[in-house]
Structure 1
Amino acid sequence: SGESPGFVWWYFAQYAGGRDYAFGKDIIDALRGHLRTSKRSMPQAVRAHLFAHRYALGGRKEGKRELITYHTAVLLEWDHGLHMSVVELGPLNGIAGRHGRSDWFRDKFAPTTALSQAMPACVVMPWKEDRAEIRVSDVAARNLEEFKAYVKEYTGPELRFVDPQFPNSDAIRFSLRSQEEIMRYLLNYMYADQSFSVTTRSCQSFAADFYSLMVGDASIVPFHPSLRKTYTRHRERFLYDCELPLKPTTQA
């Protein structure tokens, strides 16, 4: 919005003071408020994991396209050990436009989800397949083993996940790894490019960029081989301040 720019939202579902949702630059103010209220120190990210899966189709048979369509996300572990965060890129309003139904929460198919109740009315609108947003969801799992147990519970052609895989896990080596700093990286990344494209700027390209930056591994590429030929690494987009105007491109 004009008051809180940036196509990033954060669902603080495990916040002890009650569930909260913020978007744009307001995610930073929301975090600071939570820390003041709870009298906790700034969380530091300690480990990252890549997670990929195909979507369950309600028992319908997968076609050729579905068999190569994988959603990819990055899981972050924090030093407080209270919960993890799922970080993903997807089409703009893709969750809000579907009544706040998220695979990361047990109430996905409830008549009214907790996420939908937390979302302000201004973000509930039809999704746009050519525009992107970054979504961060704080989930109940505290570590990778607990997250795997949750995924296993919902794996199957009539459930949520098909062929879940965890191809990479590592310690976070990036020096500036606080939750607030990570929020700024995500805002910067979206400020640089707000487009969405299955072939060139999708969940898989974002996950490769973000995981690669966090763990310091330049060999990371999109999960599925079909997307690697069109992939261009853009780790630098996390690092440049979104609050400063971009300089116009000049030609020699």
Structure 2
Amino acid sequence: MSGAWDAQARFAVYYAPSHESMWWQAGSAWLGRDAQSGKDCVPPQLPGLTRPLAALTDAPRRYGWHGTLVAPFRLDASITQADVLEVARAWALTQQPFALPIEAATLGDFVALRPADAHGDARMREVAASALQSLDTLRAQPSAADLARRLAAPLSERQRTLLLQWGYPYVLDEFRFHMTLSNSLADANERATLLAWWRQRTTELGPLAIDRAALFVEPAPGEPFVLWERLPFGSAAPRA
């Protein structure tokens, strides 16, 4: 997918499994949308739900199947979309693939996938920090309205400091890798049903291959994010 977006577009670096992998197929089907092809997918049927699965996943569906590494940002006026590709590709080549054991869990009222142990959590934090630092010169500073909106949220002092420095509060030591599977769900039975399905599915699918990232784009405010380009890491040989 080639890039030709205006100044309102936002760009992000996400982890996204290989398009040919069972992980990509499972996640895209779950959300009902393939963010690379743009095609709709048929979600699985979950016994025990009183609402369609699509009603529980419309928030993450807009973002596509992913785990955030660098949160969405607008480009500085001096930066072209070709610059974004060049910098992102160069960053990806500095990274080495590895396998990430994963588990399904509830994060507050959300259901999500997250690293299964502290070692994996730390490794994903390192990847995200490297991407953040490498791409930081690309982003525009947040507008006064955006900054005020974010500062109005309940943030710790550390998160406020990170927001002012990096444009987002959940980076570096505050970063926690996850792949969101649901809206915020007040119904504990719905959360439990989704969690049980994914606990079985993660066992079948095995570890995530962290061997690439991807550039995603929000073409205009509120539109679905699309996968622009995949960013292979520097070696094809995974390490433990």
TM-score normalized with structure 1 length: 0.25
Name whichever structure is richer in helix by fraction. Answer: 2
TM-score normalized with structure 2 length: 0.26
